[in-house]
Structure 1
Amino acid sequence: MYLVHTVLRRPEPEAVLPPDTRELLSALVRPEDRIEHLVLHRDAVPDPVLGLFLLTDSLAEAESRATEFCRTALGSLPELLGWRADRVAVPLVTPFYERLLAASGTPDRNGPGPFPSTGRAFHPR
């Protein structure tokens, strides 16, 4: 299973998604889309993010299916007129793994010091 995030670009800066957007999108899921679940992050900054959990054989297939679903869904729902899908991709989890490696005490680039992906200092808990 892959989690694919899609940034939902606003048609205009003040545009807000309808309260039932997640339900509207869920109603369009077909078995051949291979989408198991979807979640909407309405308050993501600067734009909302749609998370799609897909059962596919590869990362490329998951991203392709997510792209196609979003294009079709946004093009067919009058409530989402003008919204568009952008940056359809699996989210990076690099900071999570860097924290695990740093906590292991391994004396390499993932040891104490800033995280390469963010530049922020490591603070062990």
Structure 2
Amino acid sequence: MPGESVEYVVVHPDTPVGPVVGLFLLARSLEDAEEIGATVCGRALRTRAELSGFLLLGCEGRLVGPYFDRLLGWAPAGRVMPRPDHDSGNPFLDF
């Protein structure tokens, strides 16, 4: 949705604690990121029939500042990888 700034999503279906979804997004603060993550996941659970039976047990952000700060210097416009080209119909990045 507009304003949620979700960059991409990764799903780990078989962790020891059950399925884990990782959202990579842009936010002004860690608190905003956690709120956006909870909103996006909650909406998916409410609106997608294939997710019925799953519960959102928590939503927490991980900030890995020093690692990513080191990477930002060489990428154009401060990005490590380009955004996907949604207009092309291909949601996957070509590396």
Equivalent residue, structure 1, for 2:17: 46
Which residue number corresponds to residue 32 of structure 1? 3
Alpha-carbon separation, structure 2, partners of 1:50 and 1:60? 18
Q: Which runs of 5+ in 1 are unaligned?
A: 1-29, 94-125
Q: Between the two proteins, what is the percent identity of the paired residues?
A: 38
Aligned-residue CA RMSD (Å): 1.6
Distance, in Å, in 2 between the alignment partners of 1:69 and 1:33 is 8
What residue identity is the alignment partner of 2:39? Answer: E
* Unaligned stretches of 5+ residues in structure 2: 65-95
Counterpart amino acid of 1:32? G
- Tell which has more relative contact order, 1 or 2 (C-alpha 8 A, sep 6+): 1
The answer to whether residue 70 in structure 2 is matched with residue 82 in structure 1 is no
The 2-side partners of 1:33 and 1:92 are apart by 17
TM-score (norm 2): 0.61
Partner Cα distance (1:67, 1:78) in 2: 18
Say which structure is richer in helix. 2
74 and 35 in structure 1: CA distance in 2 versus 1, 3 angstrom threshold: same
Given that 2:30 and 2:63 are in contact with CA atoms closer than 8 Å, whether structure 1 keeps it comes out as: no
Question: Is the Cα–Cα contact under 8 Å of residues 6 and 24 in structure 2 kept in the other structure?
Answer: yes
